[in-house]
Chain A
Amino acid sequence: MLTMPIPDQEVIARRAAIAAALRHIVPGEGVVEAPIEMRAFETDGLTAYRQMPLVVVLPETTAQVSAVLKYAHDNAIKVVPRGAGTSLSGGALPLADGILLGLAKFNRVLEIDYANRCAVVQPGVTNLAITKAVEHKGFYYAPDPSSQIACTIGGNVAENSGGVHCLKYGLTANNVLGIEMVLVTGEVIRLGGKHLDSEGYDLLGVMTGSEGLLGVVTEVTVRILQKPETARAVLVGFPSSEDAGQCVADVISAGIIPGGMEMMDRPAIHAAEDFVHADYPLDVEALLIVELDGPQVEVDHLIERVSEIARANNSATLRISTSEEERMLFWAGRKAAFPAVGRISPDYLCMDGTIPRKRLPEVLQGMAELSRLHRLRVANVFHAGDGNLHPLILYDANDADQLDRAETFGADILRLCVKVGGVLTGEHGVGIEKRDLMPEMFSEGDLAQQMRVKCAFDDQGLLNPGKVFPTLHRCAELGRMHVKGGALPFPEIPRF
């Protein structure tokens, strides 16, 4: 189990006074302090970790968020921001000595501006609600994380969320035009807006994916797009992951960027088929779904080309969707892959590394060996187009040894991803889950530079401490550090 910073007992002792001060800022039901009511906030999508917060505050206005943060800053109290709590990496895990700042009441769509093709929304609006608000005019918001029915746009900004369509349409960072945010001092700033690019440093780019460590987003302006005229998918089974991987490479080499390109391995195919009966082939090692979207004439043309490429790569089965129902059926299994795995195992850990695609066969091979070593099963779903791998490690949380083994297995998979030139996380964030693996990818000097950026936003380290960075440094100390050959002059860094 990963450990969190040791709670400050002095702050915990002041709990009643802190709650009273917050009530003063957010009257009525905006402050939650009864343990039974705070229970709803004790975990997020990384359910193996639970922690009751010091107190929960649910402000409704930017002015309240500003006052809460200023109070926390003046009194040196930690703050954990939270949207819908769907983070898979523990980004919203509370702290025993920290205020949990929930943005759920910021749930209004403020403006839809079709002429400028953007929508201005509050951060607690769900990802899917943005699309729902504009779809009657044929528009949608492109990034579509699997949790889109529940996850909020504020959380998407914090995590730079992706989805199955991000190879073609980009991550959150590529679809957010502007934000209003509150610094930990309570200062309110605006970055971007309905216009493009930044006048100075790209702080919007830094905020997106900063996992709640730099500020609290109170308004978001997103780009909306006209829905593609049509979409069709091709479902291809391969006798080996090598063939499937080569097919993906050949599609991209042919100059085709599909709307979605997803791969599943044999265990994932079987779990999904047992669950949703999508008529997936069961005697293949890898299944590929390639979706083309755009005008009918383009989709028809490209689907033929993709099919030819698949056949040239030894496809064992190949079906092209001929109706919207059939296309949805192809996707049904993939989209239900997580719950499908949930049916065959009491618990699972969803990992999230990205690798250079061409290394897929050796990574799958390595994972099979690790699976034997740790005596736990693994199923793989893979955003094949962009190399983002989601191994699902099957375990039983009631058995402490299994959780330990699952976590070690997961860490080994991510180390393998880094070893082949990939990264620890493609879209789920570092959070607490991958925090202690950061040194696998970054030198101490690299991490120190990121922490200096943190200091520019939050000099006391009050926002979401214990996430992302494996060690805590005081900002003054980081300012003095000089890196020689990638190593910092403080070998005995305090770990938590």
Chain B
Amino acid sequence: MSAVLKPETETELSEMITAAPAPLEIVGHGTKRHLGRPVLAGATLDMSAFSGIIAYEPEELILDVGAATPLAEIERMLAERGQQLAFEPPDWSALLGAQGSGTVGGLVACNLSGPRRLKAGAARDHILGIHGVTGAGNVFKAGARVVKNVTGYDMPKLLTGSYGTLAALTSLILKVLPAPESEETVVLTGLDDDQAVEAMSLAMQSACEISSAAYVPGEGVYLRLEGIAPSVSYRRDQLGKVLKRGIEVMATKSSTAKWRAIRDGAIFIDNPRHPLWRISVAPSIAPGMIRVLKDRFDIRYLFDWAGGLVWLEVPPSDDAAQALVRSSFAAGHATLIRAPESTRAAIDVFQPQAAALAALSGRVKKAFDPRHILNPGRMYRGI
């Protein structure tokens, strides 16, 4: 077992990072430890002391929290005031074999977003400010407690999704939004992959304000409508006209459960040994990709984000079929989100980058963490 460092203040954190003789693995609740490439660390940096609500101002749409604050606590608090994190944070604990839904810092470090990302944007679109300590031990902040700000570089976006390879985040300022008063899900059945993506595209091109659109093979297309009740029912009727077909409507309770299942990759939980990919592409190319892959082996898949996000489960193999998976699309990126540690150590978990871009990413890493102390290798070798 490696040593555990547990800083209580930013100053202590800075001193520990500066003094560290070997790489540190940053951990909150450890629910996403198996996401990304394994880190060869000399010690664990336990961030759990940076927990707690610093400020919550519903009427300003602002939440300022310690990075290790449990996500569940935040969601409960927001719900009491009729608000939410609009990007719909997923809970992949069951998928990744972890306990609990993790911390907000872990969520932001991995830039994870759920089905509503289609309309509301990603986690990165809701991070207004950050405080943290870089791999060089520098304490810094960026952003502020206001929803509109272009002062200086958008460091909050850069840190979001950096998997702890640039800085250890101590606190975050998030934009919160009103939760919709009601929701309804329209179901379309009897469609093949191509027809499903076409139907989702038609729905997205309408003024029906679809907040989420997913396709589960064998089940059908799900289209979620959210807002005030009269608006939702009006848009549901409009949707029927746009799609020129009869539609089924799910009850609210099963609608909520369905989107939770899609968000959390629930249909893939029962096959823990099978590698699981999330692939981001232009929606229209998703069916063609699947056609190619289906010919080669047994896969399970679903489309979220109107086809722009493909969840793909492949049969067990040492390399998680990375070459085949990545040759199935020309533009986009595939991230391996579940695989044995040996596989994640051996292959490119994140989409490889062209030489000039990879070199730039390396220079960005160096700008924060010149000694390669924080989560080295978590995203890319050498980063």
Contacts and interface: CB of A to CB of B under 8 A. Distances in A.
Given A294-B209, A445-B140, A452-B367, A386 B234 contact: no
A368 interface: no
Contacts of B204: 117
B240 to A, nearest CB: 14
Contacts of B57: 356, 358
A199 B234 contact: no
Given A170-B125, A356-B57, A453 B364 contact: yes
Contact of A117 (B117, B205, B309): B205
Given A195-B333, A252-B61, A298-B230, A445 B205 contact: no
A426 B146 contact: yes
A201 B161 CA distance: 7
B291 to A, nearest CB: 17
A362 B142 CA distance: 25
Given A159-B150, A174-B125, A423-B144, A196 B280 contact: yes
A423 B181 contact: no
A198 B146 contact: no
Contacts of B124: 197, 202, 205
Given A358-B59, A457-B360, A422 B230 contact: no
Contact of B59 (A252, A422, A445, A449): A252
B6 interface: no
A249 interface: yes
A256 to B, nearest CB: 7
B381 to A, nearest CB: 12
A468 interface: yes
Given A257-B177, A295-B207, A386-B148, A445 B111 contact: no
Contacts of A249: 59-60
Contacts of B152: 430, 438, 441-442, 446-447, 450, 468
B374 interface: no
A452 B368 CA distance: 8
B157 A189 contact: no
A226 B149 contact: no
B157 A445 contact: no
Interface residues of B, number: 87
Contacts of A166: 148
Interface stretch (B19-27, B67-75, B254-262, B350-358): B350-358
A298 B228 contact: yes
B154 A173 contact: yes
B214 interface: no
A265 interface: no
A372 interface: no
A426 B181 CA distance: 30
B342 interface: no
Interface in B346-376: 350-351, 353-354, 356-357, 360-361, 363-364, 366-368, 370
A160 interface: yes
Interface residues of A, number: 98
Interface string B234-246: 1100100000000
A66 B356 CA distance: 13
B351 A199 contact: yes
A195 B331 contact: yes
A482 B138 contact: yes
A255 B231 contact: no
Contact of B142 (A188, A356, A450, A452): A450
A423 B151 contact: yes
A13 interface: no
Contacts of A189: 354, 356-357, 360
Nearest to A209: B150
Contacts of A455: 363, 367
B231 A294 contact: yes
A453 B155 contact: yes
A196 B308 contact: yes
A449 B162 CA distance: 16
Contact of A483 (B138, B154, B181): B138
B178 A256 contact: yes
Given A189-B354, A197-B111, A301-B231, A426 B150 contact: yes
Contact of A195 (B148, B181, B282, B380): B282
Contact of B364 (A114, A203, A253, A354): A203
Contacts of A127: none
B288 interface: no
Nearest to B383: A200
A354 B149 contact: yes
A206 interface: yes
A496 B238 CA distance: 61
A477 interface: no
B158 A445 contact: no
Given A173-B157, A255-B178, A423-B151, A196 B138 contact: no
B153 A195 contact: no
Contact of B332 (A138, A139, A193, A383): A193
Contacts of A173: 125, 154, 157
B52 interface: no
A427 interface: yes
Given A295-B207, A422-B144, A426-B149, A202 B178 contact: no
B35 interface: no
B146 A355 contact: yes
Contact of B139 (A162, A423, A483): A483
Interface in B281-316: 281-284, 305, 308-309
Interface in A172-223: 173-174, 183, 187-191, 193-203, 205-206, 208-210
Contacts of B227: 294, 298
Contacts of A295: 207, 231, 234-235, 238
Contacts of B228: 298, 301-302
Given A173-B125, A424-B151, A429-B150, 12 more contacts: A201-B161, A201-B162, A203-B360, A249-B59, A255-B179, A295-B235, A421-B144, A421-B146, A438-B152, A445-B139, A450-B142, A456-B364
Q: Which 3 A-B residue pairings sit nearest by Cβ, starting from the closest? A: A205-B157, A199-B333, A255-B178
8 contacts: A189-B354, A195-B333, A206-B155, A226-B206, A256-B178, A297-B234, A449-B138, A482-B137
Interface of B: 57-62, 82-83, 111, 113, 117, 121-122, 124-125, 134, 136-142, 144-155, 157-158, 160-162, 166, 177-179, 181, 201, 204-207, 209, 227-228, 230-231, 234-235, 238, 280-284, 305, 308-309, 331-333, 335, 350-351, 353-354, 356-357, 360-361, 363-364, 366-368, 370, 379-380, 383
Interface of A: 113-117, 137-139, 159-160, 162, 166-167, 170-171, 173-174, 183, 187-191, 193-203, 205-206, 208-210, 226-229, 249-250, 252-253, 255-257, 294-298, 301-302, 354-358, 383, 386-388, 421-430, 434, 438, 441-443, 445-450, 452-457, 468, 479, 482-483, 486
